[in-house]
Amino acid sequence: MVMIALCSSLVGAVLGMRFRIHALFPATVAGFMIVVIAAAAKGSPISSAIIAAIIFAAALQLGYLGGLFTRFCVAAARVVSRRTLRSTARG
């Protein structure tokens, strides 16, 4: 379960850095299918597969929020650096 959470949060962070929120739903659906297929191939009980899918979705969304925060910080740093370049160029 920890591996699922780590991988899905990293995928969510990449989605948050590059895409808008519309990419989150297809990624969640694809992740659900992958988790269910992997659980069925492994022979896990259905309750375990459902818990794994919920963990996947929650970690994906948390990773997406982390990616959005990172994108915001990078954009804010660019604005600040442009302002400092303009102020030093005039003086």
pLDDT tens-digit series, residues 68-80: 998 888 888 887 7
Domain span including residue 55: 2-90
pLDDT at 83 over 60: yes
90 vs 71, residue with greater confidence: 71
Specify the number of domains making up the chain: 1
Task: Report helix angle 24-42 to 46-90, nearest 10.
Answer: 150
Q: What type of residue is 78?
A: R
C-alpha to C-alpha distance for 45 and 56, rounded to whole angstroms: 17
